[in-house]
Structure 1
Amino acid sequence: MLPNLVILNGPFIDLSNKEVEEGNFNFPKDQQPKNLDDVFRLLITPF
């Protein structure tokens, strides 16, 4: 039996993380995020 619903409770992006503060994300050149909403969309939404 598989669940019909998954509830995810954040925060999903830790703003105090050194890599996040410095903007060190590894994305393909055609998918560079402009803000943290884009980072969320590219990293978290696919799950």
Structure 2
Amino acid sequence: MEKDSGKWIMYGVDWDDPQESWNTIVRHTHDIYPIATNAQIKKLLK
């Protein structure tokens, strides 16, 4: 992430469809940590 003009920019996020970006993050995290639950992943990413 980098800061630009007072806004944080996270590369790889589809700002038009952030839910799809979240789903992609969750899928990749499940691939890495297959026993993790969505709640654990959300807690980790906070």
Structure 1 or 2, whichever has the larger Rg, is: 1
Q: Counting helix residues as a fraction of each chain, which structure ranks higher?
A: 2
Q: TM-score, normalised by structure 2?
A: 0.29
With the length of structure 1 as denominator, give the TM-score of the two structures: 0.28
Higher relative contact order (CA 8 A, sep 6+): 1
